[in-house]
Structure formats: C-alpha cells, structure tokens
Amino acid sequence: MISPRYHREIPQRYRLEAGKCKGCGYVSFPPRLVCPECGKNDFDLFKLDNEGKLLTYTIIRVGSDKFVGKTPFAVGIVELKDGVKLTTQIADVNLDELKIGQQVKLVFRKIQDEGKSGLHCYGYKAILI
C-alpha cells in the first residue's frame, strides 16, 4: 500500500530532483547519501530535464487490482537528456504506434487512487512529443 503522505515527503518524486556528486560527477536519481562510484557524500541537487527517449517498453494486458480497469497500458524505461534512466507509464498513446527510440516528455499525472477514501497518488508519466 502506497501512502500519499509518503509520496509528498519525497520531493524528488514531484520535482525530478537528482543528486550530482561533487567528487566524480555521478548523477543519481533519486538522490543518494553516498556516491556508488567514489564513496563521497557531498552532492549538489539539481532538477532533471523532463525530456528524453524511450529505451524499451512493454504492454501490460493483465493489470493488478488497482489497474485492472486501465488495461492495456504501456510501461517503459526512459533515458532523460541528463542520462538518468527511469521506469514510467507511457500515457496518451496508441499502443500500436509505440517504437523504441521515440522522444518523450515527462508530465505530472494522477497515478492511482488509494484506499476506500480514494486518496489520489500523483507522479510522472511519459507522453510522446
């Protein structure tokens, strides 16, 4: 179960903030406390570019309970212009027209409703540009 409070308390989920190691320049998203490349713990925060390309994708035809009414939908790995790779749903697209290498942009959208009260959970989805 994902709590909306949990999401609100992690700013990089909403602002696409990454950490860049001051020692070696390694970029990590989400930001880390220790650099996996050089072991230093000194980072600069910066906002990632919201555009990139689709590296790979899959089409979900049988979804979990929360997504069963939204199938089929695509989920893919996107590489942003900053070099960061992330997994996200691909929205507003004809699934037959998806191709690896297409240019995408991350947009802020509702991801799911949670619990009986229907609390909304938000995050990023990719759309074709």
Return per-residue pLDDT of the chain as tens, 129 residues. 455 555 555 666 678 889 999 999 999 988 889 999 999 999 999 899 999 999 999 999 998 877 777 889 999 999 999 999 999 999 999 999 999 999 999 998 887 777 666 677 778 899 999
Say whether both 30 and 73 belong to one domain.
no
Q: Are 5 and 122 in contact (CB under 8 A)?
A: no
Say whether both 123 and 78 belong to one domain.
yes
Domain containing residue 129: CATH number? 2.40.50.840
Say whether both 61 and 44 belong to one domain.
no
Question: What are the respective helix, strand and coil percentages of the chain, to the nearest 5?
Answer: 10, 45, 45
Say whether both 77 and 105 belong to one domain.
yes
Q: Which residues pair with 20 in a beta bridge?
A: 27, 44
- Range(s) of the domain holding residue 114: 49-129
pTM of the full structure = 0.81
Backbone angles phi, psi at 93, to 5 degrees: -140, 145
